[in-house]
Amino acid sequence: MKENEEKKNVSNRKGWSIVGFLISILLLTIAIVLSMNEEKATREAKINEKMINSEVRESIEQTSSEISKTVNQVKSINSIENEVNNEINATNQISNNEQNKDNEINTNEQTNQIVENKINENVQANEVQQPVQNDENIDKETSNEQFIMPIEGEISSGYSIDNLQYSNTLQEWITHRGIDIKADKTTVVKASKSGTVKYIKEDPRYGLSITIEHSDGFQTVYSSLLSSEFVKEGDKVEQGQSIGTVGNSAVFESAEGSHLHFEMLKDGEYVNPDIYLK
């Protein structure tokens, strides 16, 4: 009996030992699983944190880029507004200058009209007092006329075909086919000799120009004018008759200020006006 009980007790102890061992293994497995799950959760948390940080950085960079673009756009808009304001101011200035110019022209036109009326009155009086001459005598008198200065003033640039002279406007050495006579703007320009108005045109280099054709193959050219209000193409003009006003329309000589650019041609060739002017 005792032996059976001892065998039974030994068997029970072995059973409990096995159970204890299994329980230990189970607890160890549970601990390992929990540790692995905790480590996995930690890794996932770190990954999520990195992703969140990356997204935050991208969002910050994108926001910074948008702010920079907005700032640049604002600067661009301000620059455009400044340019528009400058253009508006320039336009207003041009408008004021043109208005002042128109006022000067109107005033000068009134003065010139008075002068022209006096000249016409004198011409008419002379026509009444003097006998009528035939065309042959008139042509002979015209051919004997000497060329006169179209305006009074200082000659700032002389005739120069063979030698070059320096142009302050073009900043280079050039030839000069006429003479430049300084004068105030709106000064009345007179015909150097009797003849016929052949051309009135805007020359791309020398501005508003009047060309008068004379006898003996001569032509005179009056350039850099402000106006040609006294004559039109085809008109016959007398020596000393008003034909226009001094300006500064010559693009090639704009740095010289208001002046008359005066040229003479003989049989289509440019000649020195100093030789013929008295």
Strand partners, 107: none
pLDDT at 129: 38
Type of residue numbered 141:
E
Task: Please state the pTM of the whole predicted model.
Answer: 0.50
Q: Tokens at residue 92, please?
A: 């207003």
Q: For residues 235 and 225, give the distance between their C-alpha atoms in angstroms, rounded to a whole number.
A: 18
Q: For residues 127 and 91, give the distance between their C-alpha atoms in angstroms, rounded to a whole number.
A: 51
Backbone angles phi, psi at 204, to 5 degrees: -65, -20
Backbone angles phi, psi at 167, to 5 degrees: -100, 120
pLDDT at 128: 37
Residue 258: strand, helix, or coil: coil
pLDDT at 138: 40
Q: What is the mean pLDDT of each run of 10 residues along the chain (278 residues)?
A: 66 74 81 78 72 64 64 60 64 60 54 51 44 42 78 94 88 92 96 97 95 95 96 96 96 93 96 92
Q: For residues 194 and 262, give the distance between their C-alpha atoms in angstroms, rounded to a whole number.
A: 16
Q: Judge if 58 and 30 occupy the same domain.
A: yes
pLDDT at 196: 97
Q: Judge if 1 and 121 occupy the same domain.
A: yes
Q: Judge if 149 and 84 occupy the same domain.
A: no
Q: Judge if 242 and 194 occupy the same domain.
A: yes
Q: Which of 130, 156, 183 is the last residue in one of the domains? A: 130
Q: Judge if 224 and 271 occupy the same domain.
A: yes
Q: Which of 103, 130, 157 is the last residue in one of the domains? A: 130
Q: For residues 272 and 278, give the distance between their C-alpha atoms in angstroms, rounded to a whole number.
A: 13
Question: Residues 142-164: pLDDT tens digits?
Answer: 557 899 999 999 999 999 988 89
pLDDT at 162: 86
Q: For residues 269 and 263, give the distance between their C-alpha atoms in angstroms, rounded to a whole number.
A: 11
Q: Judge if 122 and 157 occupy the same domain.
A: no
Q: Judge if 95 and 152 occupy the same domain.
A: no
DSSP 177: S
Q: Judge if 153 and 252 occupy the same domain.
A: yes
Q: Taking a C-beta distance cutoff of 8 angstroms, is the pair 164, 174 a contact? A: yes
Q: Taking a C-beta distance cutoff of 8 angstroms, is the pair 220, 264 a contact? A: yes
Q: Any alpha helices (H) in the chain, and if so which ranges? A: 2-129, 135-144, 273-276
Structural domain span for residue 161: 136-276
Our count of domains for the chain comes to 2
Q: Which of 115, 130, 145 is the last residue in one of the domains? A: 130
Q: What is the CATH number of the domain that holds 152?
A: 2.70.70.10
